[in-house]
């Protein structure tokens, strides 16, 4: 497979490794981006592999909840430019869509598009009208409705809709009793982007993959094979403290972990609190936006 300059550029952005190292890694794995990242990590050349992928598109994330917090919904709607994402009409549209998700049984975007939008027609027809009125393409990318029995949902929106989080708390407490703790945890998730709630929820395939990478790193460092296993266990434990929410240092008080913070919050209200779910959306994560030369783009518009 031909290794393009664009592929090398993306790998450099995602790992911080040198240009030739990126090119060689891609050639070694026949252009597979994720395998190239693993190769660079194994060789100790990747400074920080960004697992979320490149953030390139614009739009908004919003969260809404029922009054009692028993139901919550989060949605991402994309636009072409940040200018449109700040448009009051677009903001109102995204908020209304989140409310429709909250009060419906829609599970997929196609289901949502068929639903009624405040008596103005289907969501799909209103979306098409917005595109025509605003003059820019828009799309409903994804959404989730959270309503596990016995849970209270709390959330947080950061950066004017760049990041949204919903936290599912298993508790007998009311939403008012856990709102502060829930929002603090949601802010933690927005900031630190944990992959798992705790070690028990870690994907076994992820563990095996990370262990393989750490073993190769240690061997490449020239460590004796007989002590590599013990080293890897220690390194893996350290990594899990960074990727598991309850193990992370609490951003508001680095002297305690998030797990300890939740324990303290539960004691203060006299009711148990357990984090059983989390959803974090960041606008455009994993979507690549085609890059165009600005001068060429202007020329195209002038000639059209």
Q: What is the pLDDT of residue 135?
A: 75
The confidence band for 296, taking pLDDT boundaries of 50, 70 and 90, is low
Asked if residues 98 and 64 have their Cβ atoms less than 8 Å apart, the reply is yes
The confidence band for 286, taking pLDDT boundaries of 50, 70 and 90, is confident
H/E element holding 281? strand 273-282
171 pLDDT exceeds 90?
A: yes
Q: What is the mean pLDDT of residues 65-94?
A: 93
Task: Specify the DSSP class assigned to residue 174.
Answer: -
CA end-to-end span of the chain, whole Å? Answer: 37
- Where b means 16+ CB within 10 Å and e means fewer, 71-99 reads bbbbbbbbbbeeebbebeebbebbbbbbe
Q: What is the pLDDT of residues 223-270, one digit of tens each?
A: 887 787 778 777 887 888 888 999 999 999 999 999 999 999 999 999
Q: What is the mean pLDDT of residues 2-25?
A: 84
Q: What is the mean pLDDT of residues 190-195?
A: 94
Q: Where are the alpha helices (DSSP H) in 165-279?
A: 175-192, 204-220, 225-243, 258-269
Rounded CA Rg of the chain: 23
Give the predicted TM-score (pTM) of the model.
0.72
H/E element holding 298? helix 294-303
Q: What is the pLDDT of residue 53?
A: 39
The confidence band for 54, taking pLDDT boundaries of 50, 70 and 90, is very low
Q: What is the pLDDT of residues 103-158, one digit of tens each?
A: 999 999 999 999 999 999 999 999 988 887 777 788 999 999 999 999 999 999 99
Dist. CA 165–CA 282, nearest whole Å: 9
| Tokens coding 111 | 């289901």
* DSSP β-bridge partners for residue 58: 79
44 pLDDT exceeds 80?
A: no
Q: What is the mean pLDDT of residues 39-44?
A: 80
Judged by DSSP in three states, 304 sits in coil
Domains of the chain: 1-50 (1.10.8.10), 58-196+276-282 (3.30.479.20)
Q: What is the pLDDT of residue 179?
A: 97
Q: What is the mean pLDDT of residues 34-52?
A: 69
Q: What is the pLDDT of residue 11?
A: 86
Q: What is the mean pLDDT of residues 80-98?
A: 92
Phi, psi of 178 (to 5 degrees): -110, 5
Asked if residues 45 and 15 have their Cβ atoms less than 8 Å apart, the reply is yes
Q: Which of 188, 168, 187 is nearest to 178 (CA)?
A: 168
292 pLDDT exceeds 60?
A: no
């Amino acid at each position: 497979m031909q290794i393009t300059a664009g592929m090398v550029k993306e790998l450099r952005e995602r790992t911080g490794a040198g240009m030739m190292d990126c090119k060689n890694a891609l050639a070694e794995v026949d252009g597979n981006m994720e395998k190239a990242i693993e190769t660079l990590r194994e060789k100790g050349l990747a400074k920080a592999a960004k697992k979320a992928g490149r953030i390139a598109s614009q739009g908004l994330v919003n969260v809404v909840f029922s009054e009692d917090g028993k139901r919550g919904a989060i949605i991402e709607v994309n636009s072409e430019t940040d200018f449109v994402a700040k448009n009051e009409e677009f903001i109102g549209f995204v908020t209304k869509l989140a409310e429709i998700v909250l009060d419906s049984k829609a599970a997929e975007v196609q289901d949502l598009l068929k639903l009624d939008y405040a008596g103005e027609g289907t969501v799909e027809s209103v979306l098409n009208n917005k595109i025509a009125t605003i003059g820019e393409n828009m799309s409903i990318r994804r959404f989730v409705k959270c309503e596990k029995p016995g849970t209270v949902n709390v959330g947080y929106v950061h950066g004017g809709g760049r990041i949204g989080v919903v936290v599912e708390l298993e508790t007998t407490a009311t939403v008012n009793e856990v709102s502060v703790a829930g929002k603090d945890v949601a802010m933690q998730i927005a900031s630190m982007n944990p992959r798992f709630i705790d070690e028990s929820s870690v994907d076994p395939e992820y563990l095996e993959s990370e262990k393989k990478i750490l073993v190769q790193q240690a061997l490449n460092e020239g460590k004796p094979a007989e002590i590599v296993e013990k080293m890897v266990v220690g390194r893996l434990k350290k990594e899990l403290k960074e990727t598991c929410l309850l193990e992370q240092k609490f951003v508001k008080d680095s002297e305690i972990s998030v797990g300890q913070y939740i324990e303290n919050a539960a004691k203060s209200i006299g009711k148990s609190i357990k984090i059983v779910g989390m959803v974090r959306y960041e606008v455009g994560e994993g979507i690549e936006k085609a890059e165009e030369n600005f001068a060429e783009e202007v020329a195209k518009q002038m000639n059209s």
